[in-house]
Structure 1
Amino acid sequence: MLRVLTVLIPLALLVWALVDCLQTPEEEIKGMPKVLWVLFMLLIPLVGSLVWIFAGKDRRRGRATGWGQGAFPAGPAGPYGSAPVAPDDDPNFLERLRLHKLEQDLKAREEKLRRDEDGDERPRP
């Protein structure tokens, strides 16, 4: 059983590192071009995979589809980018909420003025 694990763990690490490398955009890769990273991992599997994990990728930046790029509002920066912010702590959300309330108040006032001008007591659709 131990012999199987000594083969499976480095193999799983290699597969994970290769897939991660191939899916990473060029601007997030550090040190070498993507092709050289793949060759390095294939020629020296265990060492190449470990070097890729710890030094090959800028892990502080969020990917275009990741958490730090619009899925949540930007919050306090942590070691891996911005953290999600609760809606009541997000200034953008609070501003949109305030503007929505102001718009509703303005519509209600306009409707009241129209009714007063027409002398009509019932609200318009």
Structure 2
Amino acid sequence: MGKFLLAALAIVLVIYAFFDAAATPRSQVRVLPKPAWLVIIVLVPVVGALAWIGFGTKRLRPGPGRPARPPRGPDDDPDYLRGI
């Protein structure tokens, strides 16, 4: 059961990394070109997927003028509530 779970997690990780790399705009890809990342993720599955997640993409981080989490609805948006 443990080996099955580990194998399933590895497969899910590789699938997630592949589709994340494929959907990421070229402007947010770091270190290598996007096609190279896709090949690495397929040829070196777990290591390539972890490398993509760690080094391959620019993750948006909270900073000045960028909230930690964008508002989900109008009632969560302070600018909207001020205008009411």
- Normalization by structure 1: what TM-score? 0.53
How many Å separate the matches in 1 of 2:53 and 2:35?
Answer: 16
Counterpart check, 1:53 vs 2:39: no
Deviation beyond 2 Å, 4+ runs, structure 1: none
How many Å separate the matches in 1 of 2:63 and 2:35?
Answer: 31
Paired residues, what number? 75
What is the CA distance between 1:6 and its match in structure 2? 1.7
Q: Runs of 5+ in structure 1 lacking a partner?
A: 62-75, 98-125
SS at match of 1:49: helix
How many Å separate the matches in 1 of 2:32 and 2:16?
Answer: 19
Matched letter for residue 63 of structure 2: A
1:77 corresponds, among 32, 53, 63, to 63
**1:1-125 maps to which residues of 2 (within 5 A)?**
1-60=1-60, 77=63, 82-83=66-67, 84=70, 86-87=78-79
- 1:52-95 Cα deviation digits (max 9, x unpaired): 0011001127xxxxxxxxxxxxxx726xx71146127xxxx96x
Please give the root-mean-square deviation of Cα atoms over the aligned residues, in Å. 2.4
Q: Higher RCO, 1 or 2 (CA under 8 Å, sep at least 6)? A: 2
What is the CA distance between 1:3 and its match in structure 2? 1.5
What is the CA distance between 1:7 and its match in structure 2? 0.8
Matched letter for residue 51 of structure 2: V
Which protein is bigger by CA-based radius of gyration? 1
Between the aligned residues of both structures, percent identity stands at 31
Q: Runs of 5+ in structure 2 lacking a partner?
A: 71-76
